Structure formats: C-alpha cells, structure tokens
Amino acid sequence: MYSLPRQTIGSGIKKKTKESASKPNVLELLPTSSPPPPLLFSQGFPSRCSCDSQAPAIPMSKKRGLSLEEKREQILQIFYESQDFFLLKELEKLGPKKGVISQSVKDVVQSLVDDDLVLKDKIGTSVYFWSLPSCAGNQLRNTCSKLESDLSSCRKHFAELVEQRDILKKGREESDEREAALEELKTVELQHKKLKEELACYADNDPAALEAIKNAIDVAHSAANRWTDNIFTLQQWCSTNFPEAKEQLERLYKEVGITDDFEYLQ
C-alpha cells in the first residue's frame, strides 16, 4: 500500500491550521445581543413566510362599464380612424374592440344619427353609416352659429324689454295722486261687477234673447211638420206596396206612437 511521507502529511496539516487561524470566524464578528439571521432556505426548499397566511386578501375592483357619452366617442373613433362606410352588423363586430358591447351598438349609432354626428343612407336593401371629422366640424360650426344667432336675438329682446320697462315706469312713481287714482279704480271695478250681476238677473227678458227663442220655435215647428209629412208619405208607400200587411202596419204605428189623432202642428 502506498503511503505519503510523514513529513509531507504533517506539513500539510500545519499549513491548514495556520490558514484557519488567520481567517476570522463569521459568528464571532456578529454582536452577541442580536439573534442570528433567520434562514430563508432549509434543505434546499424555501421556507413559507408566516405573513402570507395572516395578510387579508385584497378584493379586485370590478371593471366599470363605459357611459353612453364614452360609447358615442368610441363609435365615432371607428368612423374617424377608417373614414369608411359601414353596415350596422359590421359596426356590431367592431364595437367590442372599442369596449362597446355589440348589443348596445345599434342604440349608440342611432343616438349619433339623431344628433347629426353620423349620417346614414339606404342603398338598395342595405343601410350604410358614415361620419368624417369634417362632418363633426361642420355640425359644431352650425350649432355654434345657431347659438350665436339665438344669443343675439335674446339680447335684442332683453334690450326691448328694458326699454319698455323704463317707459312704463314713467308716471307710476309713488305719490298721493297715484294712490287716490288706484282707490278710485278699485271702486269703479266693484261697481262694474255689481252692475253685471244685476244685468244677469234680467237676461231672460233680454229682447235679443226673446227674438232668438222665437226664431228657434219657428225652426222647430217647421221641422216637426216636415217629419210629420214624411211619416204620412211612408204610411202611404207601405199601404200601396204591402196591402196584405195592413193590420201588422197599423199595430206597428200604434206601438211607435202614431195614433189616429196624429196630425200636423198648427
């Protein structure tokens, strides 16, 4: 068996001992009052942090849906970016890419059409929608022009009202003469109301009302005799065309009030 020389082994041990003595111990350099650092790994596996089991779960906030105005802006972006013509079913496919569900695309597009922000036209059996940035600009300019015109009209009307108010104020300043005139006006109005009530008591004796009643009587008298003549004509026609039903007709006449003393009004 081969063996190293004794001196070689001994010298190697001494050399190692010297090197160990020259290197300081890491644990000796740590302060004695502080505890040793915790081991993060044990047997090659990471240890589970105790805080993981104690920390409360943070609920995730639910994603907020788009408002109607935001949906309108997103649909307009589809038109502005492409500057093309679309069918409704094509917009319903592109809407979800902008965050607008396909079920609400139709209502959003219709609201834009109602506000003249999107144009539509029927070509054959298909309805196409389109909108260009210039269309929106023209719409805004037209709206701005209309509002400016309305504002100018309102200012003019306001100035006229102010002028009319100033004119009406003249002569209406508080004074003893004005107070006396107002009291006199109140007295005259009460007297006028009283006279109207008294006049209403004689309304039945009003000559014009009596004349109207006479005219109505004449009209009613003429109408009654005219219908009496019609009844006699009908009786004669029935007797001529249905002679075999004479008894039945006479019974019918009596049931409806046409008796033997039925005659013209005098």
3-state secondary structure of 35: coil
- Predicted pLDDT of residue 204: 74
**Token digits of residue 259:** 């008796």
- Predicted pLDDT of residue 119: 87
Closest CA to 136 of 121, 116, 120: 116
Per-residue pLDDT of the chain (266 residues; tens, 9 = 90+): 444 444 444 444 444 444 444 455 544 544 554 455 544 444 444 444 444 445 555 555 566 778 888 998 999 899 888 888 999 999 999 999 888 998 999 999 999 898 888 889 998 999 999 888 887 788 788 889 999 999 999 999 999 999 999 888 887 788 888 888 889 999 999 999 999 998 888 877 778 888 888 899 999 999 999 999 999 898 889 888 988 888 888 888 888 888 888 888 88
Q: If you search the block for the tokens 């109408």, which residue do you land on?
A: 223
Q: If you search the block for the tokens 């033997």, which residue do you land on?
A: 260
Distance CA 209, CA 214 (A): 9
- Predicted pLDDT of residue 117: 85
Distance CA 130, CA 123 (A): 13
Is 116:140 a contact under the CB 8 Å cutoff?
no
For 115, left (φ over 0), alpha (ψ -120 to 50), or beta?
alpha
Is 131:79 a contact under the CB 8 Å cutoff?
yes
- Predicted pLDDT of residue 58: 54
Question: pTM surpassing 0.85?
Answer: no
